[in-house]
Amino acid sequence: MPYRVNVLRVLLATLAGAGVLLSGLPANAAEKVVLKYGFLRESVSVPELATFAKTGKVSTSLGAYLDMAGKAPQTVRQPLTQEIKVNGVLLYQVLKTPVGEVLLDRVSEVIHTPDNLANRQALRSALVMSALPDSNITLTEILENYPTQEVHVEGNRLAEIYGNLSRLVARLPKF
Q: Is the pLDDT of residue 28 over 70?
A: no
* pLDDT at residue 26, as a whole number: 41
CA nearest 109: which of 99, 97, 124, 119? 119
Residue range 35-64: mean pLDDT, rounded:
92
Whether residue 113 lies inside any domain: the answer is yes
Question: Alpha helix locations (H) across 43-82?
Answer: 46-55, 60-69, 73-81
Whether residue 3 lies inside any domain: the answer is no
- CA distances from residue 71 to 38, 42, 47, 84, 125 in whole angstroms, order as listed: 12, 13, 20, 24, 29
Whether residue 11 lies inside any domain: the answer is no
pLDDT in tens, 147-163: 999 999 998 887 777 77
Domain span at residue 69?
A: 32-171
State the pTM of this model.
0.76
- The tally of domains found in the chain comes to 1
Whether residue 22 lies inside any domain: the answer is no
Q: How far apart are CA 102 and CA 99, in angstroms?
A: 5
